[in-house]
Amino acid sequence: MNQDNLVYLDYAATTPVDPRVMQIMLPYFSESFGNPSSIHKFGQTAESALENARLTIAQTMDCLPEEIIFTSCGTESDNLALRGSAFLARKERGANHLLISPVEHHAISRTAEQLASIHGFELEYLPVDSFGRTSMEDVACCLRPDTAIVSVIYANNEIGTLNPISTIGQLCRSRGITFHTDAVQAAGYLTMNVNSLNTDLISIGAHKFYGPKGIGALYIRKGLTILPSQTGGGQEYGFRAGTQNIPYIVGMAEAFRLAQVEKEDRTSSLKPLRDHLIGSILEEIPDVQLTGHPEERLPNHASFIFKGVDGNALLMMLDMEGFACSSGSACKTGNPEPSDVLTSLGFTRDWALGSLRVTLGMYTTSSEIEGFLKVLPKVVSRLRAIS
Amino acid sequence: MSGGVDSSVAAALLVERGYTVIGMMLRLWSEPDSERSNRCCTPDSMAMARRVASNLSIPFYVLDARQLFYNAVVESFIHDYTHNLTPNPCITCNRIVRWEFLLNHALSAGADFLATGHYARLTQNSQLSYQLLRGVDSGKDQSYVLHVLTQKQLNHALFPLGEYTKLEVRQMAHKYNLPVAERPDSQDLCFVGADGDYRQFLARHVPQARRPGEIVDLQGNILGRHDGLAFFTIGQRKGLHIPSPTPLYVLEKDFSRNAIIVGAHDQSGRDNFFVENVNWIAGEPPDSQFTALVKIRYKAHDIPGVISTINSNTIHVKLENPPSDITPGQAAVLYNGEVCLGGGIISNVTE
């Protein structure tokens, strides 16, 4: 399949690996290939690379190196944060209550659901406003002495809305309750300074910020213990066993460093394009709504719902016109159901099935956006005509 | 694409011939809360279709037609059975789901044609009008279900398999290295699932179909009992459970008495019927009265007959030889040799 003329507008799904990141990874496949746990020089070289990468991430987040552990992806970090905290909190202080927002990524919501249905935890969903935002006051109302963990997503993958992590974190800290945030989408654009975030556990995944797929990290605030899921050789301070994926770790660290160093520049070039996209679509196409907060949202993110449109068919037609986007309600098996996020925000099926997410990135040009803006209204009206 | 041999080979042929091919699969309705997926869209068949598309380097999309399929095909299936008709849902599916919904989406997405793995041929006559012909493999010919197509639809249709036999198609699947399952062709309805036939489906979804009654002969003698008229088709021999020296067949279903009338094969005598909702492939009938070969069900043999048009969508058919199984609700499809002229639904009405 020829992808040459396709315009990629799905950066929230994944990003291409930055050539600078690619370069930095290469030596670790064949030359410096050792196992960091080995005593010999091969191991020492690998360990050195591992710890340098850890330090890079720690410096970027203004935390200690031993507070960063490496995982296989953002989902694994989410799983580890939630399960690891829940089981230990129940064991140590009988805490059995889980508090999450209703618009979390499935890596959090499905994990929490399993903790409830199989492991007997009590799962409660925080209130959100019509933009999917949870406020500190919302959390304050729901916090209980027996709350094991609170998890609120930093920036929503589906609708782009940003949550006030800092104030929620401060509240949880004052009540001695563990607070986690899924920062997978946020890590490429927003501050990741742990001191301003006031958060105990932070998940990231490299492939959202121009690093490779298959590598992530979890920040665990010093002094906090969580129960490891993956046990074995004691790597990663005992939190996550398994021989570390050195080339990918090195790549992730560099990608993360670059993202944080360049975030203002990346934001200032993307935001105007994205704002123009939103403005044009809302103006030109009838029966459309922007989902998520209009201002407090990721700078590259646009998400819409179109009344009376099948999101799946919309993506197919856009793909055939050369534009790659995604949707909260579409599914590769042609079995679109409105997403949990849109349903919990109260949108009716007729609207929620027609969701479209357009996310821009480093290689997006304004002519690509212009091209997209010419095509989308035609496609929407064609689809409405045949339904 | 269904993940089966026919649609996979059809796609491969078109790719070889230089068409820009896009694979599309329909997600259809299947019974909820059961392992019975619609045979056409099980996760396995979808994975298979995806693999074939990948092997052919063509894009692949799945279109959701569950609600439409349920409303148009399943509901009318249930409705027909409760209104004394024996439906052929494949015809409704072709008419509404494949050649309207799917065709519209394909054309809207920029395609010029919708191609399927049906065994049928398409030609244009000297006036450039489209003609639908039987497939060369008479055992696999599927022109019967395509009799509902109009000139407008045929203008956008491609049937790559019509020139080949089923055996040749299977050989081509090997030649193209297509990873398709050597699935035996199923005769059952796609939405009924692998573990039962339409009777189990009706029992599950149409409880009022279970209305026991009598089985009688032409003289009115009671020979036995039945579970419900819906579970029997005209011409059926099995399932009567009546000891008899000669084989007995369902001749008629008497809905007013809720009785099945059975008799010997040669006792069924009907040789004429009305056909409604007629579609003419050419756009109009050949004449107000003409002769044609008639198929009264998918697997029936041709019977010569005289066709008279009553109005724009009703005809009267008089057959040369009375068959034993004229069944209201089934399609009667007319042929002039290899050419499918069109057809419609056999009516309950007898005059």
Q: What is the ipTM of this complex?
A: 0.84
Contacts by residues B276-280 (CB-CB < 8 Å, ≥ 24 positions apart) = B276/B313, B276/B314, B276/B344, B276/B345, B276/B347, B277/B313, B277/B344, B277/B345, B278/B313, B278/B314, B278/B315, B278/B342, B278/B343, B278/B344, B279/B147, B279/B148, B279/B149, B279/B150, B279/B342, B279/B343, B279/B344, B280/B341, B280/B342
- Domain A19-261 listed as CATH 3.40.640.10: yes
Q: What interhelical angle do A263-284 and A366-386 show, nearest 10?
A: 30
* pLDDT value for A182: 98
Task: Give me the number of domains chain B comprises.
Answer: 3
Nearest to A158 by CA among A323, A344, A18, A8: A344
Distance between A3 CA and the closest CA of chain B, angstroms? 11
- Using 50, 70 and 90 to split pLDDT, how confident is the model at B182? low
Hey, are the CB atoms on B109 and A316 less than 8 Å from each other? yes
Task: Please determine, for residue A39, whether its predicted confidence score (pLDDT) is greater than 90.
Answer: yes
Return residues 326-385 of A near B (CB < 8 Å).
Answer: 332-336, 382-383, 385
Q: Answer yes or no: do B113 and B135 share one domain.
A: no
Hey, are the CB atoms on B57 and A1 less than 8 Å from each other? yes
Set of chain B residues whose Cβ sits within 8 Å of the Cβ of A317: 108-109
Contacts by residues B233-236 (CB-CB < 8 Å, ≥ 24 positions apart) = B233/B86, B233/B325, B233/B327, B234/B86, B234/B324, B234/B325, B234/B326, B234/B327, B235/B268, B235/B323, B235/B324, B235/B325, B235/B327
- Compute chain A's Rg from CA coordinates: 21
* pLDDT value for B30: 80
C-alpha to C-alpha distance for B181 and A62, rounded to whole angstroms: 56
For residue B40, indicate whether it is catalytic: no
Q: Answer yes or no: do B26 and B128 share one domain.
A: no
Inter-residue contact B172 to B9 (CB < 8 Å) = yes
% of chain A surpassing 70 pLDDT: 97
Nearest to B302 by CA among B324, B332, B329, B274: B332
* pLDDT value for A24: 97
Interface test with A, best of B62, B70, B104 (most A CBs within 10 A): B62
Q: Answer yes or no: do B173 and B183 share one domain.
A: yes
C-alpha to C-alpha distance for A203 and A153, rounded to whole angstroms: 10
* pLDDT tens column, A114-125: 999 999 999 999
* pLDDT tens column, A76-101: 999 999 999 999 999 999 999 999 99
* pLDDT tens column, B289-341: 999 999 999 999 999 999 999 998 999 999 998 887 899 999 999 999 999 99
- The tokens of A189 are what? 């654009």
Nearest to A320 among B25, B57, B109 (CB): B109
% of chain A surpassing 90 pLDDT: 94
Closest residue of chain B to A322, computed from CA coordinates = B109
The CATH number that applies at residue B70 is 3.40.50.620
Domain-ending residue, one of B237, B267, B297: B267
The pTM of this model reads 0.89
Q: Among the residues of chain A, which ranges form H helices?
A: 19-25, 27-30, 41-61, 74-93, 106-117, 136-142, 165-175, 194-197, 246-261, 263-284, 311-320, 340-344, 349-352, 366-386
Average pLDDT over residues A254-280: 98
Task: Please determine, for residue B68, whether its predicted confidence score (pLDDT) is greater than 60.
Answer: yes
A308 touches chain B (CB under 8 A): no
Hey, are the CB atoms on A313 and B26 less than 8 Å from each other? no
* pLDDT tens column, A126-158: 999 999 999 999 999 999 999 999 999 999 999
* pLDDT value for B22: 97
Hey, are the CB atoms on B22 and A320 less than 8 Å from each other? yes
Q: Answer yes or no: do B147 and B277 share one domain.
A: yes
Q: Which of A272-286, A363-377, B122-136, B185-199 has the lowest mean pLDDT?
A: B185-199
Set of chain A residues whose Cβ sits within 8 Å of the Cβ of B63: 312-313, 316, 334
Nearest to A333 among B46, B105, B110 (CB): B46
The domains of chain A are located at 19-261, 263-386
Task: Please determine, for residue B166, whether its predicted confidence score (pLDDT) is greater than 70.
Answer: yes
A339 or B179, higher pLDDT: A339
Inter-residue contact A180 to A212 (CB < 8 Å) = no
For residue B30, with 0-12 CB atoms within 10 Å meaning exposed, 13-18 middle and 19 or more buried, which class applies?
Answer: buried
Nearest to B104 among A312, A335, A386 (CB): A386
Q: Answer yes or no: do B32 and B105 share one domain.
A: yes
Task: Please determine, for residue B187, whether its predicted confidence score (pLDDT) is greater than 90.
Answer: no
- Rounded to the nearest integer, the mean pLDDT of chain A is 95
Calculate the dihedral angle through the C-alpha atoms of A163, A168, A170, A174, rounding to the nearest 10 degrees. -170
Q: Answer yes or no: do B300 and B249 share one domain.
A: no
Domain A263-386 class in CATH = alpha beta
Tell me which residue has tokens 């052929």. B88
Q: Answer yes or no: do B281 and B263 share one domain.
A: no
- Using 50, 70 and 90 to split pLDDT, how confident is the model at B242? confident
Q: Answer yes or no: do B38 and B107 share one domain.
A: yes
Q: Answer yes or no: do B260 and B280 share one domain.
A: no
C-alpha to C-alpha distance for B74 and B30, rounded to whole angstroms: 9
Q: Residue A167 is which amino acid?
A: T
- The tokens of A297 are what? 């949202």
- The tokens of B107 are what? 């054309």
For residue B86, with 0-12 CB atoms within 10 Å meaning exposed, 13-18 middle and 19 or more buried, which class applies?
Answer: buried
Q: Answer yes or no: do B82 and B179 share one domain.
A: yes
**Cβ contacts of residue A8 below 8 Å, gap of 6+?**
A324, A361, A363, A364
A162 or A334, higher pLDDT: A162
Q: Answer yes or no: do B176 and B252 share one domain.
A: no
Distance between A336 CA and the closest CA of chain B, angstroms? 7
Distance between A379 CA and the closest CA of chain B, angstroms? 8
Please identify which of the residues A73, A141, A142, A331 carries the catalytic annotation.
A331
A312 touches chain B (CB under 8 A): yes
Q: Answer yes or no: do B55 and B195 share one domain.
A: yes
Distance between B131 CA and the closest CA of chain A, angstroms? 27
A333 or B157, higher pLDDT: B157
User: What domain range includes position B224?
Assistant: 210-267
Task: Please determine, for residue B194, whether its predicted confidence score (pLDDT) is greater than 70.
Answer: no
- Using 50, 70 and 90 to split pLDDT, how confident is the model at B116? very high
A313 touches chain B (CB under 8 A): yes
Nearest to B281 by CA among B343, B336, B235, B325: B343
* pLDDT value for A48: 95
Nearest to B110 among A1, A320, A334 (CB): A320
